[in-house]
Amino acid sequence: MNFENIPEYVNWEDEIPVIQYKALTDTGCVEHGFSTRFGGVSQGIYKSMNLSYTRGDDKGAVDENFRRFCDRLHMDWQKIVSTDQTHTANVRIVTEADEGHGISRPKSFFDIDGQVTDVPGLPLITYHADCVPLFFVDPVKKAIGLTHSGWRGTAARIGRNTVETMQKAYGSRPEDIIAVIGPSVCQNCYEVSEDVARAFMEGFRISDRLVYAKGGGKYQLNLWEANRQIMVDAGIKPEHITVTAWCTACHPDLLWSHRKSGSDRGSLAAFLMLK
């Protein structure tokens, strides 16, 4: 398949489909991917590629799902460093000492929604079922960041925190960073209450593209646009930002969506690793 000039691609005929991004592949320094519902061994409500240990699925099945997906991406699944997502804006610097955190060994840190590293061969992951995955790659300093950004994290600008952590830890320049806003809930599917909408009406550039009222105290919020604004304000060049076309809630047959399935579901995951 020729992916030239296609910013976001997935071959649904693959045994293990992976959503990937030309901008990240073209850096030449990372392996990356975003999972779908297909290619795993989980059964029942988790069928088949569930990548969460916390939803009630069989641990052995989840282990096998991680092994299969990581083999597809040339990663060692037992070295994965997992977040402990609680909708914070906290970002952690990850080192070799964190290998396997939350996957092949118990968690030792908590309340972390973003991770950065400059260690080759150390896979970072975040978990998703509507919230936004943010990928950051600095091909100059050879550093990466991967962040989970729900509405609370977005309002608190976790994307900016990720960039600033990469600057302080690795000397990254924002203008060198290549960024991706990955598969998540789109504006048409993301209805929020007035208090959530107002959290974005203060401090963001407001337009119908970001938030609009639909009546009855309800609004439609665009987390993709909010995170794009955050990235630009952090110094990332607009032309270095790729925004997904895949909405999890529009495609619940292909991707896990909390809005569509509630708690009876599996989980998607974003993966990023320096070669």
Residue type, 264: D
Q: pLDDT by residue (tens digit) across 240-258?
A: 999 999 999 999 999 999 9
Domains of the chain (ranges; CATH) run 8-185+235-274 (3.60.140.10), 187-221 (no CATH)
CA gyration radius, the chain = 17
**Region 176-204 average pLDDT:** 96
CA–CA separation, 275 vs 216, rounded Å?
A: 50
- 10 Å CB burial of residue 264 (0-12, 13-18, 19+) is exposed
pLDDT exceeds cutoff 60 at 1: no
Please give the Cα distance from 228 to 143 (Å, whole number).
20
Pairing state between β 124-128 and 81-82? parallel
Which residues in 56-80 are b (16+ Cβ under 10 Å) and which e? Answer: ebeeebbbebbbbbbebbebbbebb
pLDDT(102) > 70: yes
pLDDT tens per residue, range 41-64: 999 999 999 999 999 999 999 999
Q: Which of 214, 209, 210, 224 is nearest to 193 (CA)?
A: 214
- The pLDDT-based confidence of 237 (bands split at 50, 70, 90) is very high
List, for residues 172-187, the tens digit of each pLDDT value: 999 999 999 999 999 9
**Alpha-carbon span 256 to 262, nearest angstrom:** 10
